[in-house]
Structure 1
């Protein structure tokens, strides 16, 4: 009845969102008894100003307030109502729909109780509470929108229909009020059969939400039936059982005939609810979706329901809901410990329930945190939490086992990502570029962008990760469980696949601005991967270059810590003379320089230079690069003459080996100009720098960082000359 104007003298029914079932029942009873009732869900349109509509309702009528714990929560939408009605307190008629103590300012008002009564008794109490001279003498027309609900109207909230097979209600159910209200609004607003698909990752509480919805709004339905749909082959028998229960088909009818009879019966009825729990393939469920004026709820890990239902994503808890759940399950811990634990567990309901069970078994918050840090998967494999079929670890294992059977390449991709960061990884950019060390399933899955998209869809169908714009992001807890359950051989193969992904996604040049967005996206994974898993020089290159990218961004301390780890690991694995080790030492020396530790930089570069001269010879480009770096270290330490001598020798060799315009040659030339200036040879420095600038502008462009660096040096020389002239 949205948008219908209600005449004067109506009762405005005020309630919290969590108590919508009570509000609809109360409003119905008022209308049925001849009163006029105004309810926001029935009478207000989208975009209406809530406070203005409520104030207008108070001006022309009275105020039936449904008191409950949710009603007095400080952040509920009822707070604006109190602002408007405090001056009109005599117009409030309160009734309690749950055990609650009213705020002090409202305690003088006598509130009758509707809960814990039979339906007739509750109706009588409600009507006695609102009876007054304002009651109309003529019953108003019965609102059309109310008739659409069918039957004789909603029953007392909490009362169950005669046809009912739903699981027991979870006594510790916590939070989700916003989702429940949104779900109810969407279902009640539909003029045809309403189908809602609750989708989300395993352990997020989709089934619990469906159970809570069915119980909370049981009074709105004449029948409610639960179908365990994980195995689609078992759906017909469960629907046939319902057909027999309501008399639509005889008990001995074949399942297919009974399902057809049930569909025909439901098309003639309203106020029914079917729940299909844990179905993954929309196409397999489509034949069993009936028409008519009822409601269908689906729970699924797959988000791909657009063709058959309105998808509603069920995400993790808010932090407040997580803390409330821990306490509701009996966990005794401080707010800070609860917050820390919820953050560790990603606010995932199933993981929180498991943690609460361990805490109530005597484990302290500190001990639990330590166990989670040691082996998350082992902790999350403990027991079977009440209300959930399996533990989180078992659920992840079962789902990945199914994925391995359905799509081995997608499973290989998941295993590889479990060894990287829990951030989006650019999967589609890798398609067609995987190196030879990738496993066959992964290579097959990422042969083209099309096959890559198929792999992503297979993974998201099980809600094991989030896919968006060609990237894939593993949920952190899922990633941890997957990683902890890899065997030694599986981890080695996953490591090779992770390296293959990093190599295929390599953005290449770190000095080219056009590649920087790609480096930013890949950086978390390059910093997270265990260097011991990197076995190829291409893999080592991209991991090292990530540190160079950080150095160029001014994040030298982060780069230095990572390079120290890389150098230690690869020195042990490859030996000190391996090129992979020597190049890592080269990068680490720069990191020491950038953090003003020039002594360590010099020691590393001296050692590298000595090794490269022995291994490669004095004129090898890599040897000359190290020599140029060592000259820079010497200059930073104040040993300008030694720096000049080494740089002059290096420049001569580079011009002969690489040519006058090579970037390395020009870098050494610019550095030598600086050393010459330091020892007083200013004119020689200027001539050398001007020649380097001309060549850099010609080969790199005027705006290249190396060209601009040379410009700044020449400007410094000019400034020094002006200062000297002024001094004279």
Structure 2
């Protein structure tokens, strides 16, 4: 609005800049109105400042134009609020502050000499008189002085004067206010702005998970801004069939319809009457179906509607406003407001465990009256469900555990497939899961309820939508992420048979979502998303080959990203399980041994890796013969381990054997054959047969580029090895060109942190130094060292090798005669 715009010389004493904490907006509007009505000019941020304007500049200009009227309250003096630097700046400039108190509060020492007036615990008329005395002095008359244009100014603010904040409307049925309500100031202010800014009936839908405090927020809003309304009516709306009777009661109360009229007719008359009225508030609590509520939403030009719901899909009928969990400071304040006495560290730990969810915190506070924080944490770790079935607050119909159970039961009745997905995700990680990526890819043994639910992306989308409507998880773009606390409760509530079914479904989901090729970089973004879920699975619970393969794929991805230690630990658990369940000769156990050997090799235990690969090769030969593909793959792997151990002649012989077998079985151009040829070229170089290595490497690289493409990781690895061999035979220029080309493509295809990319960059830096491009070599070496430290750690042999080379280079550059 334009109230207070413009000023004339000598009028600054009649112009007031009202400053307040966000929590006290209702008071600020009431004070501003009274000053306008008494002929003062007023500047109030909510009335006069537009969205996007510079807050600091507007505040500075307001202070230059008029005097500061400060509304003192506990919130006003909170250090993190902007009011603190504001009043300290005014004091520093020697400007006058006129304070009024909205509640019992002790001002900071520097402000205590100021005389302040109290507006609380007074009726509206007395509070107005005290306010005007504060700004005009005690000689101000009690009667309302005439002021030209007053009514026009007031009409810009609203139809009639607001009542004193805290006074309740004449027509109301609001639930009792929660004396322990804590925090949410910014959300309340946002809600007030959203409701008060519209020209037509403003409808806001507070949505969020169960127990997040939507109803309490609506109650607090209704009471905090009660002075703005002449009618405030609360309608429990979970069952749409009961809404007409409740609205009919309101119609009779305000005389819009006679008592006893059929509800449908009374509702029609009520909505018509509300269309002609102003300053009313309707609250529909726990409305879940937007289309079912739509016939009861009033039209007209004024009035406010507030909806609370677990369903976020209100865009057609209302402006959705997400109610999330509390900030940590608010969580701790809520625990203490409920009577809990505990140190900051214990309060913080408990709030984290309970996901900052208000209902859970309230229940925990009740339990802390009969057990210690340490005992409560131990019980939560044992069974989240049992703990949160206790201590139901008086103002909430059920405990959090019961609320989760009831919501899941409703979901199961409406959409059994969505309930099955929810139970499966309860046994995975509380992270994003790409549900629609599973559509149409579930294994054949999947249950009918799950396979039908995820038969297509369209049906999978309906599963996501059903879960979202009940606010049991966060959903976005086909992904589902369970709330950590909800997940723990759901998992605890599963019966043994339900848990067994959920484990099978979880494995089916992981299998369906996993990329087909664990080594293809195209699948790495998917592996990154699936990784926490696959690491959350107990390897002993995996019952299918595809499920175990998915876990192997996740571990392979970890090793490709330079994290072999967590991969090794998980692979060891899986391998031990496979040995026990299936025996050492089973193909799944042999596959696990293969991946575990790589993990031992990359965690600097090459001898253990060699022993595993040797045993695997021996078993494959006995089970399948020398020319079986698995036997040939094992021979190739064992040769690689022998190379790492420096046993080059043995590695060379084994690689020659494997290459001949692969050429015989799958042909010279098969990707596996070409990979073995590349490995053999490395062995030839290792025994000093570098010219032969160059020839074989060149031929192999050409084959890989033709069969796989120049950007394939295998071709890039061979190109790096060939650059080294070219260097060793004196073809320096070609080596540098190939090294630069390979490094650039690896950064683009594999990423700057991939192990192959770092290996090529390290080799290129050495070659650049040797051709005199020392500055470039040092820059590349320092970048490679930093990345190796981040990816591999400071103690990894590759990191130490790069660090030693770089130190040697620095000494050469900075030593005697450097730069001459």
For the aligned pair, the TM-score class normalised by the smaller chain equals over 0.9
Deviation at 1:42, TM superposition (A): 1.9
1:115 aligns with 2:120: yes
Question: 2-side partners of 1:628 and 1:615: how far apart?
Answer: 17
Specify the alignment match of 1:517 in structure 2.
525
**Alpha-carbon deviations, 1:674-699, whole Å to 9, x = none?**
33333344444444333333322322
1:163 aligns with 2:168: no
Give 1:95's match in structure 2, choosing from 100, 117, 128: 100
SS in 2 for 1:147: helix
Give 2:667's match in structure 1, choosing from 650, 654, 659: 659
Aligned pairs (5 A) from 1:207-286: 207-286=215-294
Specify the alignment match of 2:509 in structure 1.
501
Specify the alignment match of 1:76 in structure 2.
81
Specify the alignment match of 1:349 in structure 2.
358
Specify the alignment match of 2:649 in structure 1.
641
Question: 2-side partners of 1:252 and 1:664: how far apart?
Answer: 85
1:337 aligns with 2:342: no
Question: 1-side partners of 2:536 and 2:613: how far apart?
Answer: 27
Which moves more between the two structures, 154-163 or 671-680? 671-680
When normalised by structure 1's length, the TM-score is: 0.95
Deviation at 1:672, TM superposition (A): 2.8
Does the CA contact (< 8 Å) of 1:30 and 1:36 recur in 2?
A: yes
Question: 1-side partners of 2:3 and 2:163: how far apart?
Answer: 25
Does the CA contact (< 8 Å) of 2:22 and 2:185 recur in 1?
A: yes
Aligned pairs (5 A) from 1:621-640: 621-640=629-648
Does the CA contact (< 8 Å) of 1:677 and 1:685 recur in 2?
A: yes
Question: 2-side partners of 1:86 and 1:20: how far apart?
Answer: 23
Tell me which of the two structures has the higher relative contact order, counting C-alpha pairs closer than 8 angstroms and 6 or more residues apart: 1
Deviation at 1:142, TM superposition (A): 2.5
Does the CA contact (< 8 Å) of 2:69 and 2:99 recur in 1?
A: yes
Deviation at 1:563, TM superposition (A): 1.0
Question: 1-side partners of 2:6 and 2:368: how far apart?
Answer: 53
Question: 2-side partners of 1:533 and 1:419: how far apart?
Answer: 11
Question: 2-side partners of 1:140 and 1:380: how far apart?
Answer: 62
**Alpha-carbon deviations, 1:571-630, whole Å to 9, x = none?**
222222211111011101011111111121112112222222222222211011112211
**Alpha-carbon deviations, 1:638-661, whole Å to 9, x = none?**
333332332232222222222222
1:49 aligns with 2:54: yes
Give 1:463's match in structure 2, choosing from 471, 475, 487: 471
**Alpha-carbon deviations, 1:258-306, whole Å to 9, x = none?**
2122212212211111110001000111111112421111000001111
Specify the alignment match of 1:21 in structure 2.
26
Aligned pairs (5 A) from 1:665-676: 665-676=673-684
SS in 2 for 1:420: coil
Specify the alignment match of 1:312 in structure 2.
321
Aligned pairs (5 A) from 1:431-470: 431-470=439-478
Question: 2-side partners of 1:197 and 1:708: how far apart?
Answer: 55
1:321 aligns with 2:326: no
Gaps of 5+ in 2: 733-769, 771-820
Which moves more between the two structures, 419-428 or 40-49? 40-49
Which moves more between the two structures, 322-331 or 209-218? 322-331
Question: 2-side partners of 1:20 and 1:477: how far apart?
Answer: 34
Does the CA contact (< 8 Å) of 1:2 and 1:45 recur in 2?
A: no
1:475 aligns with 2:483: yes
Does the CA contact (< 8 Å) of 2:3 and 2:153 recur in 1?
A: no
Does the CA contact (< 8 Å) of 1:3 and 1:44 recur in 2?
A: no
Specify the alignment match of 1:303 in structure 2.
312
Question: 1-side partners of 2:139 and 2:178: how far apart?
Answer: 42
CA-atom RMSD in angstroms = 2.3
Question: 2-side partners of 1:50 and 1:515: how far apart?
Answer: 47
Number of residue pairs matched? 724
When normalised by structure 2's length, the TM-score is: 0.84
Question: 2-side partners of 1:210 and 1:123: how far apart?
Answer: 28
Gaps of 5+ in 1: none
Question: 1-side partners of 2:671 and 2:158: how far apart?
Answer: 81
Does the CA contact (< 8 Å) of 2:209 and 2:472 recur in 1?
A: yes
Question: 2-side partners of 1:630 and 1:575: how far apart?
Answer: 21
Change (3 A) 1:365 1:681: same
